[in-house]
Amino acid sequence: MKKKNILILNGSLGADSGNTSVLIERAQANLSKFETEVQVIHLVKDDLKYNLEDKLNWADAFIFTSGTYWDSWGSPMQLFLETLTEFEGSTCLLFKPAAILISMHSVGGKSVLSRLQGILNTMGLLIPPMSGFVYALTSHLALDSKNNSFHDDFWSLEDLEIIIHNLVTAANKQQNFKSWPIDHKDPKRRWL
């Protein structure tokens, strides 16, 4: 299998020292298990204006990342999406898979994920199954608790292995996608 180039585009305000950068490090650790070369761009400080097309052509697959700020992605990501519009539907994007990693405190991140998946797919990128992830401070604290019988219902950092597997699977045009753990106990059971 030919080595795949993975471009990570971080739209968080915290750049390489924020919470989202920890998700990126975990994603990189999982990517290292595959034949990949990885580049990380922190959009708040790396100016992509002059070599954007080269970077997009270099990439076989993308990981978009951001924190959640007032129910949306970071302003560096918004600016990037506006710049990327020039390449909508072009071969440097078309059918290339994109995973998305979002961090947040407690509310709004799933909507950020879903909206970003919709935009990227509209621009021409492929959204593989189970390739989007939101990690919340509330989940991080809850997962720490020993009597959490809802564990499988929460996204956890371990799920990044599945996300990366599915991204690389799609980049290799394979179909052996994996599912993260699902809570198959009664989803209607009382928790309050």
Ligand X SMILES: Cc1cc2nc3c(=O)[nH]c(=O)nc-3n(C[C@H](O)[C@H](O)[C@H](O)COP(=O)(O)O)c2cc1C
Interface with ligand X (CB under 6 A): 12-14, 18-20, 67-71, 103-109
Output the smallest distance, CB 42 to ligand X, in A. 10
The structure tokens listed for 80 are 């990037």
Output the smallest distance, CB 185 to ligand X, in A. 27
Q: Which residue is nearest to ligand X (CB)?
A: 67
Output the smallest distance, CB 73 to ligand X, in A. 10
Of the pair 19, 172, the CB lying nearest ligand X is at 19
Of the pair 24, 162, the CB lying nearest ligand X is at 24
Of the pair 136, 162, the CB lying nearest ligand X is at 136
The DSSP secondary structure of the chain, one letter per residue, reads ---EEEEEEE--TTGGGSHHHHHHHHHHHHHTTSSEEEEEEETTT---TTTHHHHHHH-SEEEEEEE-BTTB--HHHHHHHHHHGGGTTSTTTTT-BEEEEEEESSSSHHHHHHHHHHHHHHHT-B--TT-EEEEEHHHHHHHHSTT-TTGGGS--GGGHHHHHHHHHHHHTT-----PPP---S-TT----
Of the pair 93, 104, the CB lying nearest ligand X is at 104
Output the smallest distance, CB 154 to ligand X, in A. 15
Output the smallest distance, CB 150 to ligand X, in A. 19
Cβ neighbour number for residue 159 with a 10 Å cutoff: 16
Of the pair 139, 169, the CB lying nearest ligand X is at 139
